[in-house]
Amino acid sequence: MPDDLWGELPAADNRRTPRDVLTEQAGLLTNKTRGKLEGRVRQRLGVKRSEKSDIYTFEINVPANSYTFGVCTIEFDPISLYPAKLYDKVKGKGCEISDENDFKEKLGEVFQSNEMREVMAALLRMSEE
């Protein structure tokens, strides 16, 4: 029998990833608008993915006309998770994220900005056309 060089393995890491946070918010938005708008999280395709970078985009879809609006993008290391980079597509600017609490705070600022509220009003109007 071969020697076990692994020793005792650690328990699974139960930290929530930035993707988990975005997915949770996508579901909340869909429920809050009673399906008039759908929150979506998509892995960014067509980008050369390195081993140290996952990129996800938070989008809002208007099912009534299939229009999709990209809100923000998060880039993070799938092992360490943080620091990460958040890019606000509405304002056209990015910032560094230090941990999950910082991510939730800055993501809330993106979602609740005046610019995003204007976008939401337009998307809700489109959902009724």
Q: Is residue 68 part of a domain?
A: yes
Q: Is residue 9 part of a domain?
A: no
* Percentage of the chain lying above the pLDDT 90 cut: 77
| Per-residue pLDDT, 38 | 97
Give mean pLDDT, residues 47-63.
Answer: 82
Q: Is residue 40 part of a domain?
A: yes
| Per-residue pLDDT, 51 | 61
How many domains would you assign to the chain?
Answer: 1
Tokens of 89: 């597509």
For residue 53, name the pLDDT band (cuts at 50, 70, 90).
confident
Q: Is residue 5 part of a domain?
A: no
**pTM score, whole prediction:** 0.88
| Per-residue pLDDT, 12 | 84
Residue 46 has pLDDT above 60, yes or no: no
Q: Are 110 and 27 in contact (CB under 8 A)?
A: no
Residues 6+ apart with CB under 8 A from 94: 85, 86, 87, 88
Q: Is residue 118 part of a domain?
A: yes
Q: Is residue 67 part of a domain?
A: yes
User: Residue 50 is part of which domain span?
Assistant: 18-127
Beta bridge partners of 56: 43, 74
Strand order in the sheet with 38-43: 38-43, 54-62, 67-76, 84-88, 93-97
